[in-house]
Amino acid sequence: MTPNLSRRRLLTATGLLALAGPALFARRAAAATTLTAAEWGGDVVEAMKQIAAAQQNEAMNWVLFQGGAGSILPKIKAAWPTVDYDYVAGWEGSLNSMIAEDWLETISVADIPNLADIPAALVLKNAKGEWKAVPRAVGGMYFGYRTDTAPLKVTSIDDLYSPKLKGAICWPGPTQSMMLQIVALAIHGGGDESNMEPGWKLMKDLAKSGNIGRIAVTDVDFTNSFTSGETSVGFFAEPSWAAVAKNFPITRLTKQAGMSTFLYQSAFAIMKNRPNKAATLDFVNFAISPAMNTLYGKVAGEAPLNAKATTPDALKHLSYTSDELAKYVHVPDYKVVLTSQDAWAKRWESDIAPLL
């Protein structure tokens, strides 16, 4: 094998690839009814893929969020008014921003008949009261711990400060869970989302105590921290708890007096300026039908919102009677929460982060 020949071949191949590159990978024309959906990865997209398969109607192009649902926002804003997605999944955190930007179609029970089975109060609306998002399931954000490794069986917020928990707590960062963990602290201190001072004070004390082992910046952080044994007590959202629960015993403090639980919904947001509105409405309607909503709950690990769907046993910790709801779940004024996010995040960075 003479060196010159193979070198030449290598260079030629590279040159050809370089020339052919863009042609090889140019976007292919989409099929007539292929819908493009933006979803969370992991169990959620798995559930949605099964639902799409059950419908047998359309081909779906799944675009997965990079990290949080907020990662899609700059891409939509940059391309606007051209829109690449037929529907975008979201939760209160991301959906309200999209509603404020007026990117979403108004929907109604006439468009989506199965909406009738979902409590109207849950539907996210814009300032004019128009319905903008289709709720599909409910998840929770709450305190909990790994039953096998937690140094202390936590039963109250005060327990978080115990010296036994040195380095054992995984606390969510300022972009996770809308800082509701600090609202929980505030409630313990006698305040709420509109009066956060008691919460900030308690947060500072917690930061100084040395009990926080890791601040989770993404949901994967939290799961890894727990599965590797780095920390064992935390506050997080349902998908992370579910991921840990697959392999380790956890105690979910969803019905623990004094430790507030927060519920969030995941919903479909149907984008404006798209040609496939009818097909999208059709798919979304199918997805929230009782049978499909039950399937979603089972696979994605969120409690289905369709009144006729059945909540899987694994999610019993999220089903509350109205008494329990009043006692354990705090429903904040989301208008306050959402408009305060920026200020709270900045306050976190200036007051709390240096103390950790």
Nearest to 255 by CA among 187, 325, 322, 192: 325
- The residue among 117 and 230 lying less far from other proteins, judged by its C-beta, is 230
Q: Shortest approach of other proteins to residue 229 CB, angstroms?
A: 5
Nearer to other proteins, 245 or 325 (CB): 245
Q: Which of 109, 110, 128, 111 is nearest to 120 (CA)?
A: 109
Cross-strand partners of 212 = 169
Q: How far apart are alpha carbons 183 and 142 in whole angstroms?
A: 12
* Residue in this structure with the two tokens 């993404």, named with its chain if needed: 218
Name the percent of the chain in helix, strand, coil, to the closest 5.
50, 20, 35
The least CB distance from residue 302 to other proteins, in Å, is 12
Beta carbon nearer to other proteins, 112 or 179: 179
To other proteins, the closest distance from the beta carbon of 247 in angstroms equals 5
CB nearer to other proteins: pick between 28 and 129: 28
> 138 Cβ partners below 8 Å, 6+ apart?
263, 264, 265, 266, 302, 303, 305, 318
DSSP 132-163: -EEEEEEEEEEEEEETTT-SS---SGGGGG-G
Query: Which CB sits closer to other proteins, 96 or 265?
Result: 96
For residue 3, the minimal CB distance to other proteins (Å) is 5
Q: Which residues neighbour 145 within 8 Å (Cβ) at sequence distance 6 or greater?
A: 153, 154, 232, 233, 234, 250, 251, 253
Q: How far is the CB of 69 from other proteins (least distance, A)?
A: 7
CA neighbor of 199 nearest in space, from 211, 213, 221, 182? 182
Q: Which is nearer to other proteins, 210 or 312 (CB)?
A: 210
Q: How far is the CB of 298 from other proteins (least distance, A)?
A: 17
